[in-house]
Amino acid sequence: MAALISYQVRVLPFLLCYLGPSAAVLFSSLPKTLIVTASPSPGQVLYAGVDQINVTWAIDQSQPGGTVSAYKKVKVSFCYAPASQADRGWRKTDDNLKKDKTCQFKITTQPYATAGSVAYTVERSIPTATFFVRAYVLDSEEAEVAYGQSTDAQKTTNLFDVVGITGLHASLGIAAACFSAFSVVALAFFFVVEKRKAKK
């Protein structure tokens, strides 16, 4: 019996490891150790699939950071500005980064260096909205340990707009019109046939 219990006690830590990091990473606990600049000027409009932006980031030497040795990767994303989050619960900001839905579009993930940059063509899957750019520093377990963003803490400055593709094509309109017309004509056809049959 004692052997069984001690076996379970030994197995438990292994199980906990497989469960993954148990503490949730809170955004408010992250140090802002990166300076991130994005090329669009404030209020600039970018067209999805067409326009390009340049994002540069660098370690902020003046900030007391976390353990730099833990910095392994940098993940840069487009994040929704508050104006595009209003009345849209699926884009809500949550302090718990597992539940946070602010940053939904990844631009790039690169191995950590004290400075980096990326040239990015706005993908066609990006919707019409107002954005800023944020970079998270990840550790070896892909958990966020620091961040930087192109806007201020209230997310009011340096925002830019993206105009997404509509997804419309002329062929869609033509097909919709044809099928609709076919439905109505089919109905009219049967009505006429009915009237003729009733007359006989």
Partner 1 sequence: MGDSSKSSLQVEPSDAQARFKMPVDSEQKATEFWLFSFAAPHMQAFHLSWFSFFCCFVSTFAAPPLLPLIRDNLNLTTTDIGNAGIASVSGAVFARLAMGTACDLVGPRLASASLILLTTPAVYCTSVINSASSYLLVRFFTGFSLASFVSTQFWMSSMFSPPKVGVANGIAGGWGNLGGGATQLIMPLVYELIHHIGSTRFTAWRIAFFIPGLMQTLSAIAVLALGQDLPNGNYRKLEKAGDKHKDSFGKVFYHAVTNYRAWILALTYGYCFGVELTIDNIVAEYFYDKFNVNLRTAGMIAASFGMANIVSRPGGGFLSDWISTRYGMRGRLWSLWVVQSIGGVLCVVLGLMHNLSAAIAVMLLFSFFVQAACGFTFGVVPFVSRRSLGLISGMTGGGGNVGAVITQLIFFTGSRYSKETGITLMGVMILCCTLPISLIYFPQWGGMFCGPRADATAEDYYAAEWSDEEKEKGYHSSSVKFAENSVREGGRRRRPSPTVPVEATPTHV
Q: Contacts with partner 1: how many residues (CB under 8 A)? A: 34
Within 58-169, residue ranges assigned H as helices are: 82-85
Q: Which of 89, 111, 140, 154 binds partner 1 (CB under 8 A)?
A: 89
All residues at 6 or more sequence positions from 123 whose CB lies less than 8 Å from its CB, including other chains: 48, 49, 105
Residue reference for tokens 């340096």: 158
Question: According to the binding rule CB under 8 A, does residue 190 interact with partner 1?
Answer: yes
Q: 3-state DSSP call for residue 121?
A: strand
Shorter beta-carbon distance to partner 1: residue 100 or 139: 100
Q: Which of 42, 45, 52, 182 binds partner 1 (CB under 8 A)?
A: 182
Nearest alpha-carbon partner for 117 in 191, 12, 35, 30: 35
Shorter beta-carbon distance to partner 1: residue 50 or 172: 172
Structure tokens of 173?
């309109």
* Smallest distance from partner 1 to CB 198, Å: 5
Give the footprint of partner 1 on residues 13-72 (CB under 8 A). Answer: none
Structure tokens of 84?
């595009």
Shorter beta-carbon distance to partner 1: residue 10 or 199: 199
All residues at 6 or more sequence positions from 74 whose CB lies less than 8 Å from its CB, including other chains: 34, 57, 109, 110, 111, 112, 113, 116, 135, 136, 137, 138
* Smallest distance from partner 1 to CB 148, Å: 26
Shorter beta-carbon distance to partner 1: residue 18 or 90: 90
Question: According to the binding rule CB under 8 A, does residue 180 interact with partner 1?
Answer: yes
Question: According to the binding rule CB under 8 A, does residue 121 interact with partner 1?
Answer: no
Order of strands across the sheet that contains 52-59: 34-38, 52-59, 115-121
Contact 78, 128 (CB under 8 A): no
* Smallest distance from partner 1 to CB 88, Å: 6
Q: Which of 54, 128, 156, 157 binds partner 1 (CB under 8 A)?
A: 128
The site for partner 1 (CB under 8 A) is made up of 86-90, 99, 124-125, 127-129, 164-169, 172-173, 175-177, 179-180, 182-184, 186-187, 190-191, 194, 197-198
